[in-house]
Amino acid sequence: MNIGTEACHRDIITVDSVSFSYQQRDVFKNVSFSVMERDFIGLIGTNGAGKTTMLRIIVGLLKPTSGEVRLFGEPISQFKAWDRIGYVPQRNNLNPLFPATVKEVVLSGLSGKRKWFGRHSREDYQKCDDALMAMGVEDLAEKRIGQLSGGQQQRVFLARALINTPSLLILDEPTVGIDYETQESFFHMIKHMHQHHNMTFLMVSHDMEMIKGYLGESPASTAGKLNFYIRHSHETQDCIEDNLAHSLKHLRSQMESQKEG
């Protein structure tokens, strides 16, 4: 959503007059907006405004009643590069007895050619460790996912979405149930990824403090009951580190010295 006339970056999500109704009730009608490369968009709205529904339409889990969604310029029905998108839904209703370790869950987010019997390369394990580290759940790697608290599970699902270092990260209330310290480091990391790497964000959140602090006091645009807070980044993509946890090293050492002091 560029205010200027000339687009400096291309659209990577285009929502074109999309309507959605559920049981004869319009959730939203004729909504159009776009997300440009290197945007950070906070999507805010009251309960029932259809924020989650909108995200589910964008990732293709729901079909809009009318209108079209394009991802990276391609209509969603023809879109193939799903590994460029990370999506973390609001709540995963997983079976607490499901036999899978945290590590297995995070590795399941990896895209690309698969070895026989689901085996992974050394590089895959490295990526997994990075993603776990980035979300501060490295100590839980061998635990069964069902044994974790809701907040810990959420961090594991964030790690799974991050493992491919996607170009577009779509997050639905990512920090619900997560303790304050982890929230801080998570926001620190995604801000860093937005400013110094080529990563674009679309995030539903109720955390107005974070939204306003980073994206500005008032929404840049509205569509029905949906409010869009936007920050577009032109800072140089100068960070050469490509693992996920790097932006946290500094922050962690800072926090630890504070605790000691």
Partner 1 sequence: MDIIMSGFFQRALIGGMLIGITAPLMGIFLVLRRLSMIGDTLSHAAIAGVALGFVIGDFPILFGLIFALLASFAIEKLRKSYKSYAELSLAIIMSGGIALASIFFTLGRDLSMDANSFLFGFIYTLTPIDLWTMLGVTVAVLLIVGKHLHGLFLITFDEEAASVSGMPVSYYNILISVLTALVISISIKIVGGLLVSALLTIPAACSLLLAKSFKQSIMIVVLVGEVAVICGLLIAGVWNLAAGGTIVLVLIAFLLLILLGRNIFSRIA
Residues that bind partner 1 (CB under 8 A): 59-61, 80, 82-83, 85, 87, 89, 92, 94-95, 97-101, 104-105, 108-109, 111, 114, 116-118, 142, 144, 160
- Pick between residue 56 and residue 197 the one whose CB is nearest to Zn ion: 197
Can you tell me which residue has the tokens 């490509």? Answer: 242
- Pick between residue 17 and residue 108 the one whose CB is nearest to partner 1: 108
- CB atoms near residue 46 (< 10 Å): 11
Which amino acid is residue 114, in one-letter code? R
CA distances from 152 to 103, 119, 175, 209 (A): 13, 25, 10, 22
**Cα–Cα distance measured from residue 231 to residue 215, given in angstroms and rounded to the nearest whole number:** 5
| Touching Zn ion, residues 184-243 (CB under 5 A) | 196, 239, 241
Site for Zn ion contains 9 (CB under 5 A): yes
| Touching Zn ion, residues 241-260 (CB under 5 A) | 241
- Pick between residue 97 and residue 240 the one whose CB is nearest to partner 1: 97
**Cα–Cα distance measured from residue 131 to residue 138, given in angstroms and rounded to the nearest whole number:** 8
Give me the least distance between CB of 100 and partner 1, in Å please: 5
Task: Say if CB 54 and CB 31 are below 8 A apart.
Answer: yes
239 makes contact, choosing from partner 1, Zn ion, none, with CB < 5 to 8 Å by partner type, with Zn ion
Q: Which residues pair with 34 in a beta bridge?
A: 14
In 77-177, the DSSP E strands lie at 85-88, 168-172
Give me the least distance between CB of 108 and partner 1, in Å please: 5
- Pick between residue 12 and residue 49 the one whose CB is nearest to Zn ion: 12
Write out the residues near Zn ion by the rule CB under 5 A. Answer: 8-9, 196, 239, 241
